[in-house]
Amino acid sequence: MTDRTLRLGVNIDHVATVRNARGSTYPDPLRAAKLAEEAGADGITAHLREDRRHISDADIDGLMEVLTVPLNLEMAATAEMQAIALRHRPHAVCIVPEKREERTTEGGLEVAGDESRLADFIAPLREAGCRVSMFVAAERAQIEASARIGAAVVELHTGAYCDFHAEGRVAARDEELDRLREMAALAADLGLEVHAGHGLTYDTVQPVAAIPQIRELNIGHFLIGEAIFRGLKDAIAEMRRLMDEARG
Choosing from 177, 187, 200, 208, the residue that interacts with ligand PXP (CB under 6 A) is 200
Contact status: 130 vs ligand PXP (CB under 6 A): no
Residues marked as catalytic: 47, 74, 198
Residues 141-170, interacting with ligand PXP (CB under 6 A)? 155
Beta strand 131-136 with 92-95 is parallel
In angstroms, the Cα distances linking 121 to 49, 88, 143, 236, 238 are 17, 16, 17, 34, 38
The stretch near ligand PXP (CB under 6 A) out of 57-65, 169-177, 214-222, 239-247 is 214-222
Q: Which amino acid is at 217?
A: L
Neighbours of 125 (CB within 10 A): 23
Residue closer to ligand PXP by CB (options 71, 171) is: 71
| Contact between residue 208 and residue 181 where contact means Cβ atoms under 8 Å apart | no
Residue 217: closest CA among 184, 179, 190 = 184
As measured in angstroms, the least distance from the Cβ of 2 to ligand PXP is 26
Choosing from 6, 10, 60, 94, the residue that interacts with ligand PXP (CB under 6 A) is 94
Contact status: 97 vs ligand PXP (CB under 6 A): no
Contact status: 218 vs ligand PXP (CB under 6 A): yes
Choosing from 19, 34, 54, 198, the residue that interacts with ligand PXP (CB under 6 A) is 198
Contact status: 98 vs ligand PXP (CB under 6 A): no
Under DSSP, is residue 218 helix (H, G, I), strand (E, B) or coil?
Answer: strand
Q: What is the Cα–Cα distance from 153 to 91, expressed in whole angstroms?
A: 13
Q: What is the Cα–Cα distance from 229 to 117, expressed in whole angstroms?
A: 44
Full DSSP string of 138-174? S-HHHHHHHHHTT-SEEEEE-HHHHHHHHTT-HHHHH
As measured in angstroms, the least distance from the Cβ of 124 to ligand PXP is 21
The stretch near ligand PXP (CB under 6 A) out of 60-68, 83-91, 174-182, 194-202 is 194-202
As measured in angstroms, the least distance from the Cβ of 47 to ligand PXP is 5
Phi and psi at residue 111, to the nearest 5° = -85, -40
Contact status: 199 vs ligand PXP (CB under 6 A): yes
As measured in angstroms, the least distance from the Cβ of 168 to ligand PXP is 19
As measured in angstroms, the least distance from the Cβ of 178 to ligand PXP is 21
Choosing from 32, 33, 135, 236, the residue that interacts with ligand PXP (CB under 6 A) is 135
Neighbours of 24 (CB within 10 A): 10
Binding site for ligand PXP (CB under 6 A): 11, 13, 47, 74, 94, 96, 104-105, 135, 155, 197-200, 218-222
